[in-house]
A = this chain, B = another copy of it.
Amino acid sequence: MSQNIRNLSMDPTVKTTTLTDLAHARLEEMISTLLLAPGEFLSEQVLAETVGLGRTPIREALQRLAREGLVTILPRRGVQVTPIDAAEQLLVIEVRRELERLISRNAAARATEEQRAAFSAIADGLDRTGRASDALEFLRLDREMNLLMLDAAHNAFAVRTMQLLAGLSRRYWYQNHRDTADLPLSARLHAAQARAVASGDPEAAAAASDALMDYVAAFTKAAQPREN
Contacts and interface: CB of A to CB of B under 8 A. Distances in A.
Interface residues of A, number: 34
Contact of A69 (B7, B101, B157, B164): B157
A35 to B, nearest CB: 21
A155 B95 contact: yes
Contact of A18 (B16, B75, B91): B75
Contacts of A15: 75
A158 B99 contact: no
A95 B157 contact: yes
Contacts of A161: 95, 161, 164-165
Interface string A9-31: 10000111010000000000000
A49 interface: no
Interface string A119-157: 000000000000000000000000000000000001111
Interface in A155-183: 155-158, 160-161, 164-165
- Majority SS at the chain A contact face: helix
Contacts of A227: none
Contacts of A160: 67, 69, 164
A101 B161 CA distance: 16
A94 interface: yes
Contacts of A16: 75
Interface of A: 7, 9, 14-16, 18, 60, 63-64, 67, 69, 74-75, 77, 80, 88, 91-92, 94-95, 98-99, 101-102, 106, 154-158, 160-161, 164-165
10 contacts: A15-B75, A67-B160, A88-B157, A92-B157, A95-B99, A95-B157, A95-B158, A95-B161, A98-B99, A160-B164
